[in-house]
Amino acid sequence: MTRPIHPDLPPVSGAWREGDPVGSRRFARLGPLGLESGDKLDDVVLAYETWGTFTGSNAVLVLHALTGDSHVVGEAGPGHVSPGWWGDVVGPGGDIDTDRFFVVAANILGGCQGSTGPASPAPDGAAYGSRFPDLTVRDQVAAEVALADRLGIERWHAVIGGSAGGMRALEWAVEHPGRVERLFLLATSAWASAEQVALSTTQQAAITHDAAYADGDYYENAVGPVGGLEVARRIAHISYRSEHELAERFGREREPDGVTFSVASYLEHHGVKLAQRFDAGSYLVLTRAMDSHDVGRGRGGVESALRRITARTVVAGIDSDRLYPLSQQQTLAELIPGAKRLDVVNSLHGHDGFLVEHEQVGALASALLGRGPRST
């Protein structure tokens, strides 16, 4: 596979690199981190952002999905290619009210927007590249636990996550039940299904078959596997939206050239948009970590693991989600002791409904959080 010629694609990677504008990020140096594989990262850094004032009992952890980052709220600008991804839910007076709650969001371990990942410098100063170890969701949560310790947060008022963020929220509540008072699981699952892994590994192949991938050591080259990343995103985006939405919006319409299908142009746009702000190596690390997700692994099975959760829990799914169908959230709602029912978000937009349906999702979050202590 060769890199498609597109004027808007970066030559190597869309990763944030040291020396780039910092924007709203802060950085926590957490030291060494042992991994489930037996490997170790010597000097883990997590980039994070906060909103509101910590009073000791009002901290809320918001966990982003696969290609999100710490920039939950705020404008695009130096250091932030895109505006905050949940700005209609989080903020002063919002459903997750930063006048009342101290909201924390960190870029995931293995990510590419300031946290330690394949594009980051290894101890020898060169990018990790192919030397970056495989991660699991549990490894990523271990890094977030270290961040909470660094921030002096012993117990979260709530942990909130959708999709891949929901995987980490679930692991938080299972592995550290005493540190999670409330839990919001949105469009996620107890384990990665065969279909989810099939889609994920196909996206991974789009990247590793790009001639510029160079076995993962492309960061100092003239070009990187941005074409493969763009194709991977196209594949993913099909599963993120619903068939009904695509049919309604595009049907069999073509672009003004009379040749290109409008739906193909739409997918290309989203592929290029991601490649401008993301890194192919991180995409591989993060999707493989998602493939590892199985809350019951080593814990006596899924039911036994979910019974550990003591948090008051809201489980919600999207009625048109074909990537994480409602049956997966139904399993969570039935087996988590603190979950009373499955809440269903109505949306035309498929899996991406957890990012799009701000009013419905925000109302569920607000009801779960209750009236926390107002910051001063």
* pLDDT per residue as tens digits for the range 211-236: 999 999 999 999 999 999 999 999 99
**Active-site residue (options: 279, 321, 343, 352):** 321
Work out the pLDDT band at 371, boundaries 50, 70, 90: low
Q: What pTM value is reported for the model?
A: 0.96
Query: What is the CB neighbour count within 10 angstroms for residue 260?
Result: 12
pLDDT at 372 > cutoff 80: no
Give the mean model confidence (pLDDT) for residues 193-219: 98
> Which token pair is 113?
């927007």
Q: Could you tell me the CA-to-CA distances from 224 to 66, 166, 176, 220, 221 in Å, in that order?
A: 20, 30, 39, 9, 7
For 187, the token pair is 């469009």
Write the DSSP symbol of residue 310: -
The verdict on whether 304 is a catalytic residue reads: no
Rg (CA), the chain: 20
Q: Does residue 1 surpass a pLDDT of 60?
A: no
Q: Which two tokens stand for residue 340?
A: 């009373």
Among candidate residues 163, 239, 292, 320, the one labeled active-site is 163
- pLDDT at residue 265 greater than cutoff 80: yes
What the block records as the tokens of 32 is 């060494």
Determine the 3-state secondary structure of 306 from DSSP: helix
pLDDT per residue as tens digits for the range 174-196: 999 999 999 999 999 999 999 99
Kindly provide the b/e burial profile for residues 105-144, where b requires at least 16 CB atoms within 10 angstroms of the residue's own CB: bbbbbbbbbbbbbbbbebeeeebbbeebbbbbbbbbbbbb
Does the active-site annotation cover 351? Answer: yes
The C-alpha angle with vertex 108 and arms to 104 and 109, in degrees rounded to 5, equals 130
Rounded CA-CA distance 168/107 in Å is 12
3-state secondary structure of 372: coil
pLDDT confidence of residue 373: 44
Task: Enter the DSSP assignment of 223.
Answer: -
pLDDT at 65: 98
Per-residue pLDDT at 5 exceeds 70:
no
Identity of the residue numbered 340: K
Alpha helices in the chain (DSSP H): 137-151, 164-175, 194-208, 226-240, 243-249, 262-275, 280-291, 302-306, 326-335, 353-356, 358-369
What is the fold, at CATH topology level, of the domain defined by 1-376?
A: Rossmann fold (3.40.50)
> Parallel, antiparallel, or unpaired: how do β-strands 59-63 and 40-51 relate?
unpaired
Three-state secondary-structure class, residue 258: coil
Residue whose structure tokens are 């101290």: 102
Residue 10 is predicted with a pLDDT of 87
Q: Which pLDDT band, with edges at 50, 70 and 90, does 8 fall under?
A: confident
Query: Within 10 A of 239 (CB to CB), how many other CB atoms are there?
Result: 19
Question: Is 321 a known active-site residue?
Answer: yes
